[in-house]
């Protein structure tokens, strides 16, 4: 009897998982006793960190996009379709395009996060962002067209993809303007919805004095309530009103609707055991990456490490062996501190991040990783 492994989502987590399982279960796949299917709602695999560089004209959207079939092992079946619900009792996935449900014995949810700027009135019309091809290109064009004014970077929604990205953009836009001799014509303000500049207090303690040293104004406890695109103002729930000439927002994020319809968690985020990554209350269901409520950042590196853990656990279970692999919260992150410098952090559930002194070498290390990312997706790094 064939064991069906279903992976929903073809981002970093889902792709690394599929490729790693193809290697671990090579004999079982060849014998036809295991079948692995990757469900994705689009035909491409997207490397999202490229978008930050698109905003500064250093990359093009195509640099972060490849056909999913090119980065997924040939032993994996790819189905381009939307999964809308799960019948946990029958172990079947309900799809939009297909008439018949898809069976599974093991299910891994890797549906990531989506943007919902509409949750804040006026934000979609009055704000820019760099969390997509179109948004990053529009932001690039706006930056090039500006002669001066007030740039506001507002973290509107948390949690969000790549928690370091708002700080990176702020440091980079400051440096980008200085390189062009235009910094004196601009004011820059950074807002965050709690009483520090980042959700992680260690990152916040490191970043705060660096922002202030660059004459970047800080507004903490700023929870955006509404944006007036015509007046070019953003208002917080706390009553603070900021005028802007360019609003760069981190929009609210949400998980997949299918997660809620399947009863796996609220807001599109799957409740999991943070060590085993098993979905709470459901047998044979895992979640990884942005979709999993583990308490670690919604970062590609976390998805990568989680994918390796789940691959080991699923391979063991398929073979009737005890699953022993666990996730310790490992996350790594390069943080750009300008156009030519970066720092690096590595942390887990027990060890907090300790940012190193920014260097040009670390910046080039990040760029080198971006170039080699496709080897990561293939499961080779």
208's enclosing H/E stretch is helix 201-213
136 Rama class: left (phi>0) / alpha (psi -120 to 50) / beta: alpha
- Residue 335 makes CB contacts below 8 A (sequence gap 6+) with 164, 167, 168, 342, 343, 344, 345, 355
Helix (H, G, I), strand (E, B) or coil at 1: coil
Backbone angles phi, psi at 75, to 5 degrees: -75, -10
Closest-CA residue to 14 (of 22, 2, 3, 25): 22
Structure tokens at 154: 């507002």
For the chain, list the domains and their CATH numbers: 3-113+255-318 (3.50.50.60), 119-252 (3.50.50.60)
What is the C-alpha to C-alpha distance for residues 49 and 20, in angstroms, rounded to an integer?
Answer: 22
What is the C-alpha to C-alpha distance for residues 137 and 120, in angstroms, rounded to an integer?
Answer: 22
Structure tokens at 205: 């303690």
pLDDT truncated to tens, each residue of the chain (381 aa)?
A: 899 999 999 999 999 999 999 999 999 999 999 999 999 999 999 999 999 999 999 999 999 999 999 999 999 999 999 999 999 999 999 999 888 999 999 999 999 999 999 999 999 999 999 999 999 999 999 999 999 999 999 999 788 888 999 999 999 999 999 999 999 999 999 999 999 999 999 999 999 999 999 999 999 999 999 999 999 999 999 999 999 999 999 999 999 999 999 999 998 999 999 999 999 999 999 999 999 999 998 999 999 999 999 999 999 999 999 999 999 999 999 999 999 999 999 999 999 999 999 999 999 999 999 989 988 888 776
Structure tokens at 151: 């740039």
Instruction: Name the pairing type of β-strands 65-67 and 44-46.
Output: antiparallel
CA dihedral of residues 224, 228, 229, 234 (deg, nearest 10): -30
């Amino acid at each position: 009897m064939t064991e069906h492994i279903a992976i929903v989502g073809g981002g970093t987590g889902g792709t690394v998982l599929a490729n790693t399982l193809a290697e671990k279960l090579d004999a079982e796949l060849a014998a036809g006793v295991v079948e692995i299917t990757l469900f994705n709602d689009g035909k491409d695999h997207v490397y999202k960190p490229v978008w930050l560089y698109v905003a500064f004209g250093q990359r093009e959207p195509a640099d972060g996009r490849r056909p999913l079939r090119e980065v997924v092992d040939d032993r994996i079946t790819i189905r381009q379709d939307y999964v809308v619900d799960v019948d946990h009792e029958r172990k079947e996935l309900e799809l939009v395009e297909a008439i018949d449900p898809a069976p599974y014995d093991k299910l891994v949810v890797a549906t990531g996060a989506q943007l919902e700027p509409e949750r804040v009135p006026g934000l979609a019309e009055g704000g820019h962002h760099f969390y997509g091809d179109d948004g990053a290109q529009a932001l690039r064009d706006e930056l090039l067209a500006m002669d001066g004014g007030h740039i506001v970077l507002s973290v509107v929604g948390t949690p969000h993809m790549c928690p370091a990205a708002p700080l990176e953009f702020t440091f980079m836009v400051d440096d980008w303007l200085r390189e062009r001799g235009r910094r004196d014509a601009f004011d820059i303000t950074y807002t965050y919805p709690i009483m520090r500049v980042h959700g992680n207090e260690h990152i916040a303690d490191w970043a705060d004095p660096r922002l202030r040293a660059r004459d970047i104004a800080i507004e903490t406890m700023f929870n955006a309530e509404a944006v007036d695109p015509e007046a070019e103002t953003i208002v917080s729930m706390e009553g603070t009103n900021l005028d802007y000439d360019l609003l760069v927002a981190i929009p609210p994020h949400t998980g997949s609707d299918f997660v809620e319809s399947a009863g796996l968690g609220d807001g599109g985020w799957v409740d999991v055991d943070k060590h085993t990554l098993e979905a709470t209350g459901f047998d044979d269901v895992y979640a990884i990456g942005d979709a999993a409520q583990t308490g670690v950042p919604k970062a590609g590196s976390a998805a990568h490490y989680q994918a390796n853990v789940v691959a080991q656990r699923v391979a063991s279970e398929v073979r009737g062996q005890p699953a022993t692999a666990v996730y310790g919260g490992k996350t790594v992150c390069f943080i750009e501190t300008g156009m030519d410098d970066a720092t690096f952090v590595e942390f887990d559930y027990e060890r907090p991040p300790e940012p190193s002194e920014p260097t040009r070498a670390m910046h080039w290390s990040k760029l080198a990783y971006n170039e080699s990312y496709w080897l990561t997706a293939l499961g080779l790094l």
